Structures are given as structure tokens and as C-alpha cells.
Amino acid sequence: MTYAPSTAPPFGRALCAMITPFTEEGALDVAGARQLAAHLVAEGCEGLVLSGTTGESATTSDAEKAELIRAVREAVGERVPVVAGVGTADTRHTVALALDAEKAGADGILLVTPYYSRPPQDAIEAHFLEVADATALPVMLYDIPGRTGTRIAPETMLRLAEHPRIVAVKDCSYDFLGTQKVLAATDLAYYAGCDEHNLALYAVGAAGCVSTVANVAPGHIRAVLDAFDRGDTALATRLQHGLTPLIDRMMSAGLPGTVTAKALLTTLALPAGPVRPPLRPADTKTTAALRATYDDLVTA
């Protein structure tokens, strides 16, 4: 018996939250972005999410964000969807970035909850609706209260689901019950935004995942979903367990996933470059441990 998610994935199933490659001088590495995007798609990614948390959106300019979209679009053509992060703390700025993303060739926009000001739920709802009304692109909401300071309450999500262009959610809420309530009551396509939840959320009806670990292990991330889709839940579980040490090393070792992903990509001779301040690169010991954990995965 094969598995079908409750909602058809609007952006594919196995998406990568792609890092933004920089040159050693700290500039946007356009050629590197093209190379990495093509590599990720060739290795199994069904969609790419740009300028999210892992993509260092907080420290890239508006012009760099648009240039990144154009570069990745050129590299992957129409083979996979390209979703562009446009969320900011300012509704007007967010609308402008959404329109820029549409012009640059994005297939959808990733819209994080406005941060720092911690708006109440009615203001969050109004923000999302204003941005969704400003563009023809489908919207993936990004619920990550650990970074924004405010979550999208399930009741707010239920109302937002009524908008025809709000079609998906990247879920980093760590509220498994709240997520299931929205899944059961709407057609929103949920994507696990925390790699440790990829299989668990998929099993209760999610559309897939937006994975940081996919930057370095795209085939392994996709294989979990493929096995589950074939009805081989035992294999899917073993594959997820096999990924757990790398997920732990990359996402729970006290450093942002951007830092660990770039450190590991560099050891794999793939485009990455430095992180932008205030982030700092992983030290030699951390990088060596990351590589050892990665090698254990690929040789298992």
C-alpha cells in the first residue's frame, strides 16, 4: 500500500532550505549559487527555498535576494519550484520583496511572522493577508516562534487557510498537536521545518519537509519520504534514525544550521563560503566532528 499526503504538495515534497553561498570576501557568490542549486536538484531535491533562516536572509540585501533568485532559476530552469523568503518585520518592505521575487522568477514566497515587534494575532493575520493580496504567487507561511518571538496560533492559521494563495506552511512551531489540528481542518500543505520532525509530520499528513540537512545529504532526506510513500514504514524509520546523528550534530550542537551546513559543505568541496557577521564560522574541532558524522552516514 502506498501513501498519499492529505494535500498534494504544491512545491514538491523534499525541499532544501538552501544556504546562500558567499565569496571569501563576503560577496554573493552567484556562480556558486548556480552550482549548488544544480547539485541539490541532481541529488534529489524537489524544490529549493531561498533566503530563509539557513539562507542568511537577515544579512542579505534586497538586491542580493533578487539576484539569488535569478541565478538559481537559471541553474534549475523549470525542473523544480523555487520559493523565495521575503519576510521582514515591516509589512511595506515585505510587500516590496514579494513583488521583487515575483519579477525575479520565484514560484512562491516564504512569509515569516513579523519579528521583534511581536504583533498580536489580528495584526499577524492582517500582515499575511496584505502580502498575499499584493502578488499572484502562492504563499508558504513560516511559523518559527523561537526566532520571531510570536507564533501563528492555530486559530489564526485556520482563518488564513481561507485565502486562495495561502497554500502551505513551513512548521517550526514545535506544537505537534496544534499542527495536527490545522492539518485535520484545512487543505494547507504542511512542511516540516525541523529535520527531526520530517518523518513524524509526514506520517500524519504533511506534504514534505523544508530541510537544512538537505544541503549536505539531499538524497538521504528524500529517501525517507520515498520509503514511506512506498509503504515501507520500517525502512523509512531506519533511514530517519540513520540521519538522526547528523541532524543532532548540525541542528542541536549550539550553532545555527547555517554555520554547520556551510562548514560541512566546505569539506565536501561544494559552494558555501563564510557566514556573515554576527554569525561566526565553525571552529576546526566542530568541523571535523561534523565531517566524521557525515562520513558515518554515507558509509553506513
pLDDT (tens digit per residue) in 60-109: 999 999 999 999 999 999 999 999 999 999 999 999 999 999 999 999 99
Question: Which amino acid belongs to residue 175?
Answer: D
In angstroms, the Cα distances linking 39 to 35, 243, 247, 271, 292 are 6, 20, 20, 10, 22
- The predicted-structure confidence for 97-131, as pLDDT tens digits, reads as follows 999 999 999 999 999 999 999 999 999 999 999 99
Active-site residue, 170 included = yes
Q: Are strands 47-50 and 14-17 parallel, antiparallel or unpaired?
A: parallel
Q: Which of 3, 103, 170, 190 is catalytic?
A: 170
Q: Residue 7 above 80 pLDDT?
A: no
C-alpha torsion sign, points 56, 61, 62, 65 = negative
- Mean pLDDT rounded to a whole number for the chain: 96
State yes or no: pLDDT of 8 exceeds 90. no
Q: Read off the pLDDT band of 5 (50, 70, 90).
A: low
Residue 3: the pLDDT is: 56
- The per-residue pLDDT for range 204-236, each reduced to its tens digit, is 999 999 999 999 999 999 999 999 999 999 999
The pLDDT, as a whole number, for residue 160 is 98
Task: Summarize the confidence of residues 178-202 as an average pLDDT.
Answer: 97
The tens digit of pLDDT for each residue in 25-41 reads 999 999 999 999 999 99
> Which of 173-177, 221-225, 249-253 is least confident?
249-253
| Percentage of the chain modeled with pLDDT above 70 | 98
pLDDT at residue 166 is higher than 70? yes
Domain ranges of the chain: 14-229
* Residues 256-287: tens digit of each pLDDT: 999 999 999 999 999 999 999 999 999 999 99
Cα separations in angstroms, 133 against 110, 139, 197, 213:
14, 10, 31, 33
Give the residue carrying C-alpha cell 516564504.
110
The active-site residue, picked from 3, 115, 142, 174, is 142
Question: For position 4, what pLDDT does the model report?
Answer: 59
Q: Is 262 tagged catalytic?
A: no
pTM here is: 0.96
pLDDT at 253: 79
Average pLDDT over residues 166-189: 97
Return the CATH architecture of domain 14-229: Alpha-Beta Barrel (3.20)
User: Chain-centre distance of CA 227, in angstroms?
Assistant: 21
